[in-house]
Amino acid sequence: MMKTFLENLEALSLAAGTSGDESAVRKIIYNEVISYPGCFVKTDNAGNLIVSKKGKKEPKNKLMLSAHMDEVGFIITHIDENGFLKFSNVGGIDSRVIVGKRLLVGENKIPGLLGSKAIHLVKKEEFDNPTKTNDLYIDIGADTKEEAEKLVKLGDRAVFDSDFEKFGNNCVMGKALDDRAGCAVLMELLKDEAEYNFTVCFTTREEVGGNSAGNAAFTVDPDIAVVVEATTAGDVPCVPGDKFICKQGQGPVVSFRDNGTLYDMELYHHVMDLCKENNIPAQTKHGICGFNDAKFIHQARGGIRPVAVSLPARYIHSPYATIDLTDAENTISLIKILSRELCEI
């Protein structure tokens, strides 16, 4: 029996999958979509999960849709004599939001805690400066290096130990909604019978600026690519309106530019027109910030026409992000329309 969008999103959010270590997430997606009608699934050497969807017709334009499986996290780089773990970030993480947070470390999901110097030891001049990652450590309750080495090894990954739950007015909170929400959206697309053949790629290493999506695009060789992402919703206190980027609850976000891609303007306008024609609330991404897999996809082979459709998400790259489920529903509706319309324009 097919799982619902919310069931898939919860399973994906709770899974551990830092960049370069996405196997648990890939397994969840594979086990679900392999039973969907017309889906043929393979994994490439970069770890991307490539799903070919058989439709009723051959398209005029070969279409690829993608969402990345990886999340930000940590990698263990040193174990000291007292059993504390030093680490490096995997992806962009703000050190201000992680002190005191629970982690799961390594394949065995050892409980840990992100520690820092006690408050009464902090010098006066340090209070106005964010704690640097180099000054943090992970405490797994070991007393010695030998004890810690029985539980953890260098190169192990750590992720936030976060719950997944509904809250407020139709919202959910959980870790890694960037971009497990995008993955869950594309899984919804794959459930339906398709009008045209298309390909969905669940990609790796996006959070570390890797080129895995470019590898997938080279294999698929599409004419048009739609990247389904979660992007920063800045609609929170202390952020001026012109810095909002987008607003949660006002529909999918369509980009014309970010720090990695100048999007195809004809496609940008076409997508916005389709939203109006189908009464789907949508918004333009304001401000030029961040990038996504489109950066690498649009450069593959002889060039690929890119589109980005994003879910507004607050607090990404932290222990908890939020999305509005109404935004998710509208994004699913839009992606289903694009899977037909972009094949024939």
Tell me the domain boundaries of the chain.
5-71+175-341, 73-160
* pLDDT of 180: 98
Strand duo 198-203 + 63-68: pairing: parallel
Annotated catalytic residue, options 206, 207, 229, 341:
206
**228 or 241, greater pLDDT:** 228
At position 37, the amino acid (one-letter code) is P
Cα dihedral 44/48/210/181 (nearest 10) = 180
How confident is the model over 29-57, as a mean pLDDT? Answer: 97
Superfamily the domain 73-160 falls into:
Peptidase M42, domain 2 (2.40.30.40)
Listed residue (216, 212, 292) closest to 259, CA to CA: 292
- pLDDT, one tens digit per residue, over 192-234 is 999 999 999 999 999 998 789 999 999 999 999 999 999 998 8
- For the chain, give the longest Cα–Cα distance: 68
Q: How confident is the model at residue 278 (pLDDT cuts 50, 70, 90)?
A: very high
Same fold? 5-71+175-341, 73-160: no
Q: What is the mean pLDDT of residues 184-189?
A: 98
pLDDT, tens digit, 9 for 90 and up, residues 81-111: 999 999 999 999 988 889 999 999 999 999 9
Distance CA 163, CA 286 (A): 31
Give the residue carrying structure tokens 């110097």: 117
Please give the structure tokens belonging to residue 111: 């409980």
pLDDT for the residue numbered 125: 64
Q: Cα angle vertex 311, ends 219, 331, to 5°? A: 80
Tokens 């600026």 belong to residue: 209
Q: Say what the pLDDT of residue 320 is.
A: 97
Average pLDDT value for the chain:
94
Residues written for the chain: 345
Q: Is 206 among the catalytic positions?
A: yes
Q: What is the pLDDT of residue 116?
A: 86
Residue percentage of the chain with pLDDT more than 90: 84
Residue 246 predicted with pLDDT over 90: no
Using pLDDT thresholds of 50, 70 and 90, give the confidence band for residue 286: confident
Average pLDDT of the segment spanning 299-317: 96
pLDDT of residue 124: 65
pLDDT at 234: 81
φ, ψ (nearest 5 deg) of residue 267: -70, -40
What pLDDT is stored for residue 225 in this prediction?
Answer: 98
Determine the pLDDT at residue 135: 87
> How far apart are the C-alpha atoms of 40 and 212, rounded to whole Å?
20
Whether 35 shows a pLDDT value over 90: the answer reads yes
Percent of the chain clearing pLDDT 70 (strictly above): 97
Q: What is the pTM of this model?
A: 0.95
pLDDT digits 0-9 by tens, 109-168: 999 999 986 666 566 666 677 778 888 999 999 999 999 999 999 999 999 999 999 999
Q: Which CATH architecture has domain 5-71+175-341?
A: 3-Layer(aba) Sandwich (3.40)
* In the predicted structure, residue 50 carries a pLDDT above the cut 80: yes
Could you give the CA distance from residue 188 to residue 176 in angstroms, rounded to a whole number?
A: 18
276 pLDDT more than 70: yes
The mean pLDDT of 294-300, rounded to a whole number, is: 95
CB-based contact 317:231 (threshold 8 Å) = no
Least confident of 60-64, 74-78, 128-132: 128-132
